[in-house]
Structure 1
Amino acid sequence: MLSSLKEKFLNVTQNVPLFSGDEKEQRARPDVNVNAGGEILKHFQDQWEEMHNTNEENASKANRVASDIDKISTKIASDKQNVALISHILLNSNLSANITNCLSSIKDLYAVSESLEKRLIELESVIEETEFQNLKVQHKYHLAQYQLKKEESLEKFKKTLEENHSKNVAEYEAKKKSIFQERQKVFQDAFKSDIELYKSLGTLPEMNNRKKQNGALLEEIQIDFDQSELDQFFSDNAK
């Protein structure tokens, strides 16, 4: 294609003096078109440039394809080696027996896991029962403490009631004793007055009036008297 393009270019240059420096000859031929064939030349130049770029692109793609082919070849070779190694291991080793032993071990491990799971469930039940018993003990302890506090409070209340009762009884007894002592003092003073009157008059003319007035019999009255005064009274009468 390049040779045909070159021949066409030479034919054009021979027929059309594009690069001639003879200005007189050009002036002598005013009817000649100096731009004839320019479009054809540009067309072929564009095609040549396009072909050149295409070749460069194809070369780059070919290099990438070659690199990919090398990688694939390397991978295939490695896979062949791995397959050969696996085949050798399968043929010359106890892999089948080892797999069988592994399966048996897995089965035993599964049985142990089931047994352990049952034991864990039983342990959880024991823990729950223990926690429940501890909770019962705590509630019993709190109940006992509550009962003890209530008993102590009841004892304090009883003691307070007893103290108040004893205090009230003591106050009542003291008041009663005070009233009795006052009455006894009144009767004792009256008795002394009657004794003095009897000593002086020898009789008690107003005894009946006093009985009616006081509202009590003489024998019902308890008098604290001095024995020495009574002895002195009888000794004076004897004289």
Structure 2
Amino acid sequence: MFEQIRDRIQHVQQDLTSSFRELTIGTIVDSPATSPTSSSSSSRTYDKSNLDVNIYAGADVIEYFQHRWIEIQNETKQNVSKAKTASQHIDQMYCHLENFKKIYNNFESEFDKFASEICDSMLEIEHELESSLSLLNKLDEAIICLNKEMIDCDYQQRKYESKQKMDELVIRKAEDLVLYEAQLSSKYERQEVAILKERQLVFQQAFEEELCLYKEKGLILESNKPKESADGTRLEDISLDIDQNEAIEFEKFLEND
């Protein structure tokens, strides 16, 4: 910025110099020496007949450059004020940067201080997580074992209940079988009693008939002839009404005994 101002001033000076040179219109005449006393000094004289000076020749140029000079001074003042403002902003930014640098240094020192502690804490957390994972694995294994034991206990319980039911069923069937055996025995005894009574009645009738015949005629019938009762029933013709299924079950029961 200042270099541009300097260049502008130099250009103004050069323009002013060239303008002053153009103010005089004429030629410069060098007069020769007339005497030996004036030979050591030389002077320049102008030709008065050709001398024509325009005193207003560079006025507009000077006025233009004066205005430009005033504008340059104003711009310079504005640039100086802007430079001061920029310098203030730069100083503020520098202060902010210094504060940030201090804060960053403090943070870095604090972070370096707590970095080791953070690393140790992370390692402890990692060990705790590994321990927790191992405990979870053991817990899973314990749960699996517990489920197996519960399944075994349930199986044993069901097996015991089934066995108990089977024992109760066997006992109940045995009791039913004993009751049925008693019923069959009672029925068989009744049938045997009926057969014995029937035989006794037949024998008694035959004996009474033979006794009457002996009393009347003094004769005794042969014992090898079949005797008939009064109603014409013979002992060989007597048959009992027995259920075949009951007879088979009774025979199986006797074979088991």
State the TM-score bracket (shorter-chain normalisation).
0.3 to 0.5
Higher radius of gyration, 1 or 2? 2
Question: TM-score, normalised on structure 1?
Answer: 0.47
Q: Name the structure where helix makes up a greater proportion of residues.
A: 1
Question: TM-score, normalised on structure 2?
Answer: 0.45
